[in-house]
Structure 1
């Protein structure tokens, strides 16, 4: 007796299901497991866990913070780059700020709320990418004792951006300013925003500080370059987060400006720290991809092993 086409089709489907289940559910996973168990690949397959005296202290693939309980940088350690993953290097909240180069105007916070004791973030304040870069550069400069200024940043560490209000030409550029506001410098008596704008006037018009609640979007947004060096001392990776927020590396330039602080905290010479930086530098992938980098965790581990800090 001939089997009906309907039954033959379903039998073929069942056979295909069984074959694919064996291949993709058993053979392939076992093959991957076997390859991952080969010498030289096993540690990577297990997450590149770094251990000291049998205790896991982190992963060579995931960065981490080297700060105290209050979030202050520990002077005896090299610091990682900024992270937007959760509260910093949180593998369960990996991600970036998603802010682009046109993010130059801050979202102001409510001064009345800030005076009650809430944080700027809780008051609605949100820094633009430009202000984040400026404030981080200023903080790194203060920590490392180097020049933290950079173009388009105010001395107070926010984006040097004006809203210029007035009549415009056919291209939309303001030609006769009537009012100029420093949009990232909010008029307030609180401690986190200054009252006096970074410049006193623009094209003959006095510059005002920004008042909370006013809308300055009708003005033309004009970033002011200022006198910051074209090649800032604080490198880009010290003031920007990676796309994942988990980058374990910093640039040799960022490591270099930290050398003096680390040497002082550990009671050794700067040359000794620089030699360690050089020894821990990774080259470009395949010799030409990316930039040289230094794994902060591995560098700090070697620091502890060779030059224990004078104080903790």
Structure 2
């Protein structure tokens, strides 16, 4: 009995000691370090304020849209987000779709079609060419199902249903007339062939049409910021050069001078525009 008591007493002492060291002393030490000059702002979440009120974190993106979800023309738009309804820190995630996801299904568009639709919408919003490689002019994935034995006998544009398109994006493929897809039909017996198209260098950059792994990106590329300059300048009655100067002021260089690429903090830039 005395041995059992000694073991329990030792366990209790260890529990108390570890509680004091790891549960109280260590968190208190980390908190004190976080309050040092230069660290406190980041430790508090890098919160930005406007008019004395917090409006967001410089490390987490947010939506700049109206009640219907349409982009507000006076604001720079951020990168797409797959986190909840957009930039939700409680639902941070990616779509988990890869480059082989190129065929639309009845319940959702493919990743390729999603990219094509986003690029087309941005092109219309910002007055640039929204076309991309492997995208049709209608904004869906340019993918054919080629049924062959061994030469092609039938070719179907799988992402262009006959009830939504008057004619496929391509007239013929290897001498065979291209058909539109019948709704609900299964064309998996054919060989899937993505068609590159004439566009080699899209004007809409990749970060404008693809969501990140976290879904919380607070920055965009300078290239994406540049195509938005004219729209924002017109909406705010500013000159494009004035807007570009603010973009340059909120452009961050490569980490340590050589890691990654330059980026633009969208929230800081939009707050600077509002403050002006």
Give the match for residue 103 of structure 2.
Answer: 105
Aligned equivalent of 1:199, options 155, 164, 170: 170
Q: Please tell me whether the aligned partners of residues 85 and 245 of structure 1 are also in contact (alpha carbons under 8 angstroms).
A: yes
Provide the C-alpha distance between the structure 2 equivalents of 1:158 and 1:104, rounded to a whole number of angstroms: 10
Question: Who is 1:248 aligned against?
Answer: 218
Tell me the TM-score normalized by structure 1.
0.85
Q: How big is the shift at 1:163?
A: 0.7
Q: TM-score, normalised by structure 2?
A: 0.96
1:179 pairs with 2:154: yes
Look up the match of 1:260: 230
Q: Is the 8 A contact 1:144 1:261 kept in 2?
A: yes
Cross-structure match for 1:291:
261
2:22 paired residue number: 24
Q: CA RMSD in A?
A: 1.3
Deviations 1:77-133 (A, max 9, x none): 11111111122222222211110011111113xxxxxxxxxxxxxxx2x11111111
Displacement of 1:282 after TM fit? Answer: 0.6
Cα contact 1:83–1:89 (8 A) shared by 2: yes
Give the superposition deviation at 1:4: 4.3
Shift of 1:16: 1.5
1:1-312 pair list within 5 angstroms: 4-108=2-106, 124=107, 126-167=108-149, 175-188=150-163, 193-228=164-199, 230-306=200-276
Give the unaligned 5+ runs of structure 2: none
How many residues were matched structurally? 276
Return the alpha-carbon distance in structure 1 between the equivalents of residues 171 and 201 of structure 2: 26
Cα offset, 1:11, TM superposition: 2.5
Aligned-pair CA distance for 1:291: 1.2
Give the drift of 1:222: 0.5
Say if 1:62 and 1:247, in contact at 8 Å, map to a contact too.
yes
SS of the equivalent of 1:83 reads coil
How far, CA to CA, are the matches of 1:219 and 1:81 in structure 2?
35
